[in-house]
Structure formats: structure tokens, C-alpha cells
Chain A
Amino acid sequence: MEKNNELEVINLEKTNDEKISKIEKLGNIGLSVVGLTGSGYISLTTCSMLIMEDLSSIYQIGLGIPTLASFYGAIIFVKRIFENKKIEYQQSEENDEKENSDEILEIKDIDNIKSSKVDKLKEFGNYTWNISKTLAATYSIASILTLIKNMPNNFELYQTIGLFAALMPNSILLNNSIDNFKEKTKQKIKKINYKKVNQKNEK
């Protein structure tokens, strides 16, 4: 009988049901988040709602897609770096074989070298990053709006900061790696040119 917010326990049962275990687990995650943030009270309902909505929720889409895109981009990027390194190595071996020939490499502008590969790589990186950025921005705007509406609820803010923290280094890493790759190739070709010019002069 319900009286002044009072209820009675009618039945108590123990179960191994997966659905029940999942609810318990998610509820515990909700409580942990409250404990971890430690910055104040977060509505249990709001907090757990976000966690419990599974893949169908805007939260999951907002957080999941940029993360996935980011990881996918990173994997493709690393793979391509390895492919480029392999090509670079093969070309280096070919150049060594031709060491005694009179052929002189005259490459003045590194941007023209392997430009299609670098451009494709950069284009892909930018594309991935732009998707992530757009979704993250959308998500953060929604979060800020939620924050304004419900100031004590800091959960979205933490998630947004975490999301940007995760994505920013990835973008910087991507751009730096492309620049490093270009710079290293440039140095290597300069070295080959210098060697070959010296050899010709000696002759």
C-alpha cells in the first residue's frame, strides 16, 4: 500500500536474467559517474538515461560516430604511412642501384613529389576530421544548451571536454605526421641530389 511516499516489499527474487544484470550494471555506471565527477549532484535519472539509451540515443551517436570516425581515420592513416614508407624504401633501393649512372635527380619542389598520395591522405584526414568536428560541435552546442537549462547537470560538459580532448590530438597528430613525412622525404631527396652532384663533380 502506498502512503506518503511509502511502499511495501511484496516479493523478493534472485535472478541471473541478462536484461536484469544489464540494468544493474548500467545503474552502477551511472552511480560511478556521479562519484567520479564529484562536482555536485547529477540527476540520477538524467545520468542513467544517457547511459541507458544504448546506440539509439543522440548521446551515443554524438559521441560514438566522431570517435569511430577518428579511430578509423587513425587506422587508415597509419596503414598509409606504412605503405608510403615501403614505397620510399623501395625507391631508395632503386636509387642506390643507379648510383653509378649519370642520372641526376633534379627535384626542386617537394610539394610535387608524391603529391597525389599526400593530397589524398590529407584529404581523407580532413574529411574524417571535418565529420568529427561537425558532430562534436553539434553535440557540444546541445550540451551547452542542456547546461544552461539545467545548471547542476555537468555530465554533458565532462563528456564534451573528453570528446574534444580525444579528438584534438588526433587531428594535430595527423597534420604533424603528414608534415613530417613530407619533410623527411624532402631531406632524403636533397641528400641523394647532393651525393649525385658530388659524384659528378669528382668525375
Chain B
Amino acid sequence: MKNETTVLTLSDNRKYVVVKKLLYQNKKYLYLIEVDNQYHQILCEVNDNKIKLITDENIMKQIILNAKEK
């Protein structure tokens, strides 16, 4: 049986595939790719229902290289 993939619809009215759930310094992060435009990829911090986009490349680097898969 295939594993199900999570798709989020965000308030920008776009659908995103949840590629990876990450945990870094006790914070939850999601690596998302937009379904209709795969060039649009975001790394964001999750807090309940709120999603905060990470735009600083240095922080992104730290998260990607050091985060644990959740």
C-alpha cells in the first residue's frame, strides 16, 4: 500500500506538497513545494495553524543541514 502524501492549502490559495517535516532547536519546520509550480519551494516554521516563511538563506542553510527529520 502506498504512503499517503500530505497536501496543504495555504492562505495564498496555493496547494503545497509537504516534502519534509523537520525539527530544529525545538521548532517545527516544513519544506513545501507548490503543486502547480514546482520551482516555488518554501521552508517555513510551523506554529499551530500559522506558517512563517523562512527567507534568510543562512538560517535556511542551518536548518537544512542540521535539522532532524520529524
Interface set of A (CB-CB < 8 Å, partner B) = 1-2, 5-17, 19-21, 23-24, 26-28, 31, 34-35, 38, 40-41, 43-45, 48-49, 52
- Supposing A7-B11, A9-B8, A21-B2 touch, asked if A40 and B51 sit within 8 A by C-beta, the answer is no
Complex: chain B residue closest to A21, CB-CB: B5
**Contact partner, A7, options B12, B18, B43, Cβ 8 Å:** B12
**Contact partner, B39, options A10, A40, A45, Cβ 8 Å:** A45
When A and B form their complex, which 7 residue pairs have the shortest distance between CB atoms, in order from nearest? A27-B19, A41-B61, A11-B9, A14-B4, A5-B53, A8-B11, A7-B10
**Contact partner, A9, options B41, B51, B57, Cβ 8 Å:** B51
The answer to whether B5 and A17 have CB atoms under 8 Å apart is yes
Taking the nearest CB of chain B, how far is it from the CB of A28, in angstroms? 6
The answer to whether B64 and A41 have CB atoms under 8 Å apart is yes
Is B24 close to A, CB under 8 A? Answer: no
The answer to whether B65 and A44 have CB atoms under 8 Å apart is no
